[in-house]
């Protein structure tokens, strides 16, 4: 516990600061804020399998409202394949980063993905797929720029999965292991959500704005650190040690907070009109 407190006093953040009710209280305004949001565990609830998540029409409507409120400076920054996010958020008009930053889509146009050693990746994928066939307690999720082994249904195999992936990519120059929620992933070393956000912030509609980034997983921590360094605002959704400045309990409370921002902005506009 002492170590925990020392860490946060060192970086200057309180891990359990209550999420303020309004961005305004942070000295931010929607007109000057770029909102970047993780997908699984932040916008949608964690589900038993990658394919069983639920995106509601009210989630999509909220994103539409936020897109307008932030003048287009709204992005989803996900570890999932870009095409999956496009599928789930079929009406979304904002920017999307997929594959932990390997893929990017803006103005309904998919930009060229990163370059990586696809031959090597195919060999890695074959080995991982075979592992999942031999031990069906795990689910292999094939991605364009990596592969994931999920063990949510059988947490007891985590050690076995970790050892296998560790051996498979030991000393690999291009690919690395990344831990996620009940999953171990292999991804190119030079992609990260921090880099994704850095790239997104260069787009015209984002440039110069204050960054607000919300995420729930260990894969979001590198982005929290980067956004903190830029003077931005970071929000952790759920439990766990984090470098984020604020915390909210779950996707429902996060979306409630976002809706309150939208409603209060509408209210202010209405009052100004009177």
Q: Which residues contact ligand L263DTV3 by CB under 6 A?
A: 38-41, 46-50, 53, 78-80, 141, 148, 150, 152, 180-183, 217, 219
Whole-number Å distance between alpha carbons of 239 and 237: 7
Residue 247 exposed, middle or buried by CB count within 10 Å (0-12, 13-18, 19+): buried
CA–CA separation, 52 and 38 (whole Å) = 17
Task: Say how many CA atoms lie within 13 Å of 43 toward its Cβ.
Answer: 25
Smallest distance, Å, CB 137 to ligand L263DTV3? Answer: 14
Q: Which residue is nearest to ligand L263DTV3 (CB)?
A: 79
| Residue closer to ligand L263DTV3 (CB basis): 30 or 89 | 89
| CB of 183 or CB of 200, closer to ligand L263DTV3 | 183
- Nearest distance from C-beta of residue 87 to ligand L263DTV3, angstroms: 13
Spatial neighbors of 165 by CB under 8 A, at least 6 apart, are 128, 149, 177, 184, 186
Q: Which helix (H) or strand (E) holds 5?
A: helix 2-11
CA distance 17 to 36: 20
Known catalytic residues are 38
Between residues 30 and 185, which has the closer beta carbon with respect to ligand L263DTV3? Answer: 185
Burial of 67 from C-beta contacts in 10 A (0-12 / 13-18 / 19+): buried
Least distance from ligand L263DTV3 to the Cβ atom of residue 151, Å: 8
Q: Could you tell me the smallest distance in angstroms from the CB atom of residue 15 to ligand L263DTV3? A: 20
Nearer residue to ligand L263DTV3 within complex by CB, 30 or 128? 128
Structure tokens at 103: 């893929």
* Residue 182 beta carbon to ligand L263DTV3: minimum distance, rounded to whole angstroms: 4
Nearer to ligand L263DTV3, 5 or 249 (CB): 249
Strands lying side by side in the sheet with 109-111: 109-111, 103-106, 95-98, 74-77, 33-37, 210-215, 233-237, 246-248
């Amino acid at each position: 516990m002492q170590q925990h407190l020392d860490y946060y006093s060192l970086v200057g953040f309180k891990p359990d600061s209550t999420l303020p009710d309004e961005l305004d209280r942070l000295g931010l305004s929607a007109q000057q804020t770029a909102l970047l949001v993780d997908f699984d565990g932040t916008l949608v609830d964690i589900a038993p399998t990658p394919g069983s998540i639920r995106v509601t029409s009210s989630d999509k409507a909220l994103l539409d409202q936020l897109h307008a409120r932030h003048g287009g400076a709204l992005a989803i920054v996900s570890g999932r394949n870009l095409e999956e996010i496009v599928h789930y958020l079929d009406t979304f008009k904002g920017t999307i980063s997929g594959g932990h930053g390997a893929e990017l889509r803006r103005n309904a146009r998919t930009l060229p993905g990163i370059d990586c050693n696809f031959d090597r990746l195919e060999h890695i994928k074959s080995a991982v797929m075979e592992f999942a066939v031999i031990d069906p307690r795990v689910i292999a999720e094939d991605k364009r720029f990596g592969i994931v082994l999920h063990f949510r249904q059988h947490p007891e195999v985590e050690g076995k999965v970790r050892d296998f992936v560790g051996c498979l990519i030991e000393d690999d120059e291009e690919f690395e292991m990344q831990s996620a929620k009940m999953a171990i992933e292999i991804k190119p070393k030079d992609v990260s959500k921090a880099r994704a956000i850095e790239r997104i912030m260069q787009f015209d509609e984002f440039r110069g704005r204050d960054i607000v980034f919300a995420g729930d997983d260990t894969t979001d921590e590198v982005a929290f650190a980067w956004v903190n360094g830029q003077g931005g605002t970071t929000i952790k959704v759920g439990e766990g040690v984090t470098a984020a400045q604020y915390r909210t309990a779950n996707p429902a409370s996060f979306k409630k907070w976002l809706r309150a921002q939208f409603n209060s902005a509408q209210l202010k506009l209405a009052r100004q009109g009177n």
